[in-house]
C-alpha cells in the first residue's frame, strides 16, 4: 500500500497524551495512533453526510 508522508503539528498536551497512549502499547507508534484517529473522524463525517442525503455520501467516496 502506498504511503503519503506529511508533517503534523499538535500542541504539547496532545503530544504528551498521544505519547502515553502509544507507550501503553495500544498503538504501534504515533503514526498508527493519528491514522486511526483520522479514520474515525472520516467515518463520523461520512455518517453525518449519509444521514442528510445518502446519495451525496456515496458520491464522496
Note the pLDDT tens digit of each residue in 23-48: 999 999 999 999 999 999 998 888 88
Of the candidates 33, 14, 36, the one whose C-alpha atom is nearest the C-alpha of residue 22 is 33
Cα distance between the two ends of the chain? 18
Distance CA 28, CA 35 (A): 11
Instruction: Calculate mean pLDDT across residues 15-24.
Output: 98
Q: Percent of the chain having pLDDT more than 90?
A: 57
Q: Cell match 505519547: residue?
A: 19
Amino acid at each position: 500500500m502506498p504511503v503519503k508522508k506529511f508533517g503534523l503539528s499538535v500542541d504539547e498536551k496532545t503530544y504528551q497524551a498521544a505519547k502515553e497512549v502509544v507507550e501503553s502499547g495500544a498503538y504501534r507508534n504515533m503514526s498508527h495512533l493519528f491514522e486511526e484517529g483520522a479514520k474515525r473522524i472520516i467515518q463520523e463525517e461520512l455518517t453525518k453526510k449519509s444521514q442528510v442525503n445518502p446519495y451525496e455520501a456515496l458520491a464522496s467516496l
